Amino acid sequence: MVFLEFEKPLEKLYDQLEKLRQVGEESDIDVTDKIKVIEDKIKARSKEIFSNLNGWQKVQLSRHPNRPYTLHYLTNMCKKFVELHGDRNYSDDKAIVGGIGKINGDPIVFIGHQKGINTKMRQYRNFGMANPEGYRKALRLMKMAERFGYPVVCLIDTPGAYPGIEAEERGQAEAIARNLFEMAQLKVPILCYVIGEGASGGALGIGLGDKVFMLENTWYSVISPESCSSILWRSWDHKEEAAEVLKLTADNMLEFGLIDDIVKEPLGGAHVDHAKMVKILKSHIKKQIEELSTLSPDELIEHRLEKYGKMGAFTVKKTSS
C-alpha cells in the first residue's frame, strides 16, 4: 500500500497488522485479541487524521494510487457487466469506459472515466484524460439507455479532457458541449458521482444529471490546483494555496448547493476498503434510482432545467445602471 505524507502515522500500524495476520496464519497462536487492539488503534488514528483534512490533502486522496476506479466499481457492483466499446465514428477512447449492468435486477447504463492501475495501464488509459471520441461514446450509450428507458449512472474521475492536437481537430469542445446539451434533455434519470478527480469541462462532459454526488475525499473545480497556481501565481508552487481558495472539496460544493449530497467513504478513505466502498456506492445508486424512477421524462427534464437554472452567485442591483 502507498501512504501519503499525512497518512504516514498509519503505516507502522498497518505493518504490525499485516505481520500479526501472517503469524496467525502460519502458526497456532491466537492473535485475534492483538489484531483487535491494532485495528482499534488504526481506527482511532484514522479518525484523528481524517476529521481535519484540508483542500490539498483531499486532492491527494482523490488521486491515491490505491483508490478504486470506475471498472472496479462496475464489475463488483453488478453481477453481470458487459463493457461496450467505441463511438461508432472514429475509435474507442480508453479514458472513458461504459457498458450495461444490473443492480437489483434492473438494467443500468454505466459510463465513467477510467484510470490505469500501473504505469503501463496509466498510459493506456491516457491518465483518465478523454479525447472527443470518449465523450461521443458516452453520448452514444446515453442515447441507447434513453431508447430502452434505462437510467444512466456516470462515474467521474479525471484530471481534465485531453489537450492535444488531435483532440482539437476532432472537436473536444464540441463533444463536451454536445453532451451537456443532450444530457439536459435526456428522457431517463441520470445520476453522477465524482469518485476521484473532478476537473473542469472534462468532468462536466459526463457530469450533468438529475442528481450529482461527490464521494467524501474527492474534489470538483473549474481547474486543477496546479494549473490554477501556474496561471494566477505564475508558478507551480502555490498548488496548496490554490486548493484552498478554489473551495473544491465535497463539503464546499454541498454548502454552495452545487451538488446534492456527499457519499461517505470508509474510515481512512475509499482506498483502504474497496469492498466496503463498492457496497456503499451500490446501495446509494439503488436508492437514488428508486426515487427518480417515479418521475416522468418531462418532469425529469423540467427539474434539471430548474436545478441548473439556479446555479450561480450574483447580485441584482435595484436600479439599472
Partner 1 sequence: MGWFNRLKDGITTKTKSKREAPDGLWHKCKGKGCGKTNTLKELEENYYKCPHCDYHTRIGSYDYFDLLFDGKYEIMFDNIQSKDILGFEDLKTYEDRLKSAYAKTDLPDAISVASGKINKKPIVIAAMDFTFIGGSMGSVVGEKISRAIDAAIKIKSPFMIISKSGGARMMESAFSLMQMAKTSTKLAQLSRKKLPYFSFMTDPTTGGVTASYAMLGDINFAEPKALIGFAGPRVIKETIKRDLPEGFQTSEFLLDHGFLDFIVNRADLKDKIGDLLDLFSSSNK
Which among 146, 147, 176, 174 is positioned nearest to 161, based on CA atoms?
176
Rounded to a whole number of angstroms, the minimum distance from the CB of residue 171 to partner 1 is 5
Rounded to a whole number of angstroms, the minimum distance from the CB of residue 161 to partner 1 is 7
Residue 222 as a binder of partner 1 (CB under 8 A): the answer is: yes
Of the pair 40, 236, the CB lying nearest partner 1 is at 236
CA gap 201, 259 in Å, rounded: 16
Give the strand pairing for 106-113 and 261-263.
Answer: unpaired
Packing angle between helix 172-184 and helix 297-309, nearest 10 degrees?
Answer: 120
Residue of the chain from 174, 290, 291, 299 that contacts partner 1 (CB under 8 A) = 174
Residue of the chain from 119, 169, 294, 296 that contacts partner 1 (CB under 8 A) = 169
Residue of the chain from 97, 246, 272, 280 that contacts partner 1 (CB under 8 A) = 246
Binding pattern for the stretch 125-164 against partner 1, x by CB under 8 A and - elsewhere? ------------------------------------xxxx
Helix (H, G, I), strand (E, B) or coil at 2: coil
Q: Would you say 74 and 81 are in contact if contact means Cβ atoms under 8 Å apart?
A: yes
Of the pair 76, 230, the CB lying nearest partner 1 is at 230
Residue of the chain from 124, 148, 233, 236 that contacts partner 1 (CB under 8 A) = 233
CA gap 65, 237 in Å, rounded: 22
Of the pair 33, 306, the CB lying nearest partner 1 is at 306
Residue 178 as a binder of partner 1 (CB under 8 A): the answer is: yes
The phi, psi pair for 165, rounded to 5°, reads -60, -50
Give the strand pairing for 96-103 and 81-83.
Answer: antiparallel
Of the pair 271, 304, the CB lying nearest partner 1 is at 304
Residue 298 as a binder of partner 1 (CB under 8 A): the answer is: no
Residues ≥6 apart with Cβ < 8 Å to 277: 68, 265, 266, 270
DSSP 249: B
Residue 82 as a binder of partner 1 (CB under 8 A): the answer is: no
CA gap 304, 181 in Å, rounded: 12
C-alpha cell at 123: 498510459
Q: Would you say 96 and 134 are in contact if contact means Cβ atoms under 8 Å apart?
A: yes
| Measured distance between the N- and C-terminal CA atoms of the chain, rounded to whole angstroms | 60
Of the pair 124, 233, the CB lying nearest partner 1 is at 233
**In this chain, which stretch among 46-54, 112-120, 236-244, 273-281 interacts with partner 1, using CB under 8 A?**
236-244
Rounded to a whole number of angstroms, the minimum distance from the CB of residue 75 to partner 1 is 30
Residue of the chain from 172, 217, 218, 288 that contacts partner 1 (CB under 8 A) = 172
**In this chain, which stretch among 56-64, 149-157, 275-283, 301-309 interacts with partner 1, using CB under 8 A?**
301-309
Q: Would you say 60 and 4 are in contact if contact means Cβ atoms under 8 Å apart?
A: yes
Return the ∠ at Cα 232 (arms to 226 and 238), rounded to 5°. Answer: 45
Residue 303 as a binder of partner 1 (CB under 8 A): the answer is: no
**In this chain, which stretch among 3-11, 64-72, 288-296, 300-308 interacts with partner 1, using CB under 8 A?**
300-308
Q: Tell me which residues touch partner 1 (CB under 8 A).
A: 161-165, 167-174, 176-178, 180-182, 184-185, 200-201, 204-205, 207-208, 220-223, 227-228, 231-233, 238, 241-242, 245-248, 252-253, 256, 258, 304-305, 308-309, 311-321
